[in-house]
Amino acid sequence: MGDLTDHLVHFSGRGQFSPDVIARAAGSIVVTEDGRELLDFTSGQMSAILGHSHPEIVETVREQVGTLDHLYSGMLSRPVLDLARRLTETVPAPLDKAMFLSTGAEANEAALRMAKLVTGGHEVVSFARSWHGMTGGAAGATYSAGRVGYGPGAPGNFALPVPDAFRPPLTDADGNLDWRRQLDLGFDLIDAQSVGGLAACLVEPILSSGGVVDLPPGYLAALRDECHERGMLLILDEAQTGLCRTGDWYAFERDGVVPDILTLSKTLGAGLPLSAVLTSADIEERAHERGFLFLTTHGNDPLVAAVGLTVLDVLVRDRLDLRARELGARLRAGLDELATRHPVIGDVRGRGLLVGLELVPSGAWEDADALGAAVTRRCAELGLHMNIVQLPGMGGTFRIAPPLTASEAEIDRGVALLDQALADTV
């Protein structure tokens, strides 16, 4: 990109800056400085569930920033009080306490500190392809990237094998994923390594950065039971799955499992920096009695809290959970049809408007990472922004997450552009 990036730090060892400079965005479209339009099939950083520059979000920001934007974290404001009430009303009992922060990593950090304080333990379990953030505790529970070269991490972090049905590490007599045996084996190994300080299990209901892997039905309930048998708290990270994206308000609803602690971020702010930790009154009280401490400069900021309220208003009024289900079915049908004509498509998976498409190299393409990168470049040239999983050997897996406000025509157009990109590349 020449001089454009001369003064920027490269924040990802594998990822590169896109070749275009973005000038503006609206709805599902981002526009470059030279006027080229890109259909955004990632909702920005998997966050802009209402699309870019949603008029009601714009109006909320304009009004709130002129009234009350930032306060000392201990001061109360009406947007924060209202958001705590409204947000806890969207989740089942006993999740009736909320705190508001800026990023998903912060929320996971706070959740882990709370779990450690309440249980008296320090050991944390998460999936072997997890991504929970880059702050200390969250990074310790992240296995998909960023572990090499930074010295020893905090002791007491253990990895569970990923229950990947497309590439099952353990199979039953019929060749299907035997997730029950895999889960038991995983905890056998954790028990062997634990020094008796198990505190929490932090997982996503659908691993996003880990390849859009949906936990098999029944797995989450079994995982909860394994945790509670050991005195651990179950923390669900719904940064990308929460607030209607999967077709339900929360991905955990499908399994009827209520976590001990729930973290939200990306979708809650619809692109603005807002995250939340939700837990029960019992856990909050025990943490408070033990002196729970988690302070950040922008905790409980009224500006983004007002945005969160507007997000909830739009989600409820426009029934975007139902919309995500309907658009997700349309997207899935289109991708499944592509799979019948492009043998390189090995699997289509996911829920609602969080869909994974995995390419399996064949012929001239032997490397999934190179193939995924080539298809991504061709998509961008044609006017479609796609995102590949940034894991070695998994660069052929696309994370597809259009805004919940996308039109049917935009969904069809995105599928058609991907069709063309595959035809031009493979």
Domain ranges of the chain: 2-53+319-425, 68-317
Cα–Cα separations (whole angstroms), residue 382 to 36, 188, 360, 379, 417: 10, 49, 22, 5, 7
Q: Which residue do the tokens 């590349």 mark?
A: 425
For 70-79, what is the mean pLDDT?
94
- Judged against a pLDDT cut of 90, whether residue 11 lies above it is answered with no
What does the pLDDT read at residue 2?
55
For 256-260, what is the mean pLDDT?
98
Catalytic residue among 40, 106, 123, 204: 204
Which 3 state secondary structure label does DSSP give 197?
A: coil
Dist. CA 309–CA 180, nearest whole Å = 40
Give the DSSP H/E element, type plus range, for residue 191. Answer: helix 179-193
Whether 399 sits among the annotated catalytic residues: the reply is: yes
Dist. CA 415–CA 332, nearest whole Å = 10
What does the pLDDT read at residue 389?
79
Q: Considering the domain 2-53+319-425 in this protein, what is its CATH number?
A: 3.90.1150.10
Dist. CA 276–CA 302, nearest whole Å = 13
Whether 204 sits among the annotated catalytic residues: the reply is: yes
Catalytic residue among 113, 230, 245, 266: 266
CATH architecture for segment(s) 68-317: 3-Layer(aba) Sandwich (3.40)
Could you tell me where the beta strands, DSSP code E, fall in 301-421?
A: 345-351, 354-359, 384-385, 387-388, 397-400
What does the pLDDT read at residue 122?
98
With beta carbons less than 8 A apart as the criterion, state whether 345 and 426 touch. no
With beta carbons less than 8 A apart as the criterion, state whether 242 and 264 touch. yes
What does the pLDDT read at residue 186?
98
Catalytic residue among 113, 129, 131, 349: 131
Dist. CA 122–CA 102, nearest whole Å = 24
What does the pLDDT read at residue 165?
96
Distance in Å from the first CA to the final CA of the chain: 26
What does the pLDDT read at residue 387?
87
Pairing relationship of beta strands 198-203 and 233-237 according to DSSP bridges: parallel
Which 3 state secondary structure label does DSSP give 419?
A: helix
With beta carbons less than 8 A apart as the criterion, state whether 211 and 356 touch. yes
Q: Choose the weakest-confidence range: 122-131, 303-312, 368-377.
A: 368-377
What does the pLDDT read at residue 368?
87
Q: Choose the weakest-confidence range: 46-50, 146-150, 217-221, 312-316.
A: 146-150
Contacting residues for 327 by C-beta, under 8 A, at least 6 apart: 352, 353, 402, 404, 406, 408, 411
Whether 182 sits among the annotated catalytic residues: the reply is: no
Catalytic residue among 109, 226, 237, 248: 237
Dist. CA 262–CA 282, nearest whole Å = 14
Catalytic residue among 40, 64, 116, 240: 240
Dist. CA 396–CA 393, nearest whole Å = 8
- Judged against a pLDDT cut of 70, whether residue 14 lies above it is answered with no
Whether 240 sits among the annotated catalytic residues: the reply is: yes
Tell me how far the alpha carbon of residue 123 is from its chain's centroid: 23
Mean per-residue pLDDT of the chain: 95
With beta carbons less than 8 A apart as the criterion, state whether 293 and 99 touch. no
What is the token pair recorded at 57?
A: 């979000």
What does the pLDDT read at residue 364?
58
